[in-house]
Amino acid sequence: MRFEYLPRDGCPCGAPLPDAAHAETVVRSAAWGDVRFVRCRECGSWCQSLQVSPASLAAWYDSDHYQGSARQRGSAYANYLEDEPERVEEGRHRYERDLAPLLPAPPAVVVEIGCATASVLRAVRDGGHRVLGVDLSPRFATAARELHGIDVHVGDFREIALPDDVDMVALFGTLSNLTDLPDALRAIRARLRPGGVLVANYPAADSWTARAYGRRLWMFAPSASTILSATGCRRALERSGFHVVAERRDRQMPSVRKLLNHARARALLSVTDRLGISGATTPLPLPIPGVRLVIARAT
Q: State yes or no: pLDDT of 137 exceeds 80.
A: yes
Q: What is the pLDDT of residue 69?
A: 83
End-to-end CA gap in the chain: 42
Q: What is the pLDDT of residue 59?
A: 96
Instruction: Give the pLDDT confidence of 82-122 residue by residue, as tens digits.
Output: 889 889 999 999 999 999 999 999 999 999 999 999 999 99
Q: State yes or no: pLDDT of 284 exceeds 80.
A: no
Alpha carbons 193 and 25: distance in angstroms, whole number: 39
Q: How far is CA 189 from CA 17, 58, 79, 80, 184, in A?
A: 25, 23, 33, 30, 9
Alpha carbons 209 and 230: distance in angstroms, whole number: 13
76 or 212: which leads in pLDDT: 212
Contacts of residue 48, Cβ cutoff 8 Å, sequence gap at least 6: 8, 35, 36, 37, 224, 225, 226
Instruction: Give the pLDDT confidence of 15-60 residue by residue, as tens digits.
Output: 999 987 888 999 999 999 999 999 999 999 999 999 999 999 999 9
What CATH homologous superfamily does 76-298 map to? Vaccinia Virus protein VP39 (3.40.50.150)
Alpha carbons 19 and 38: distance in angstroms, whole number: 8
Instruction: Give the pLDDT confidence of 172-200 residue by residue, as tens digits.
Output: 999 999 999 999 999 999 999 999 999 99
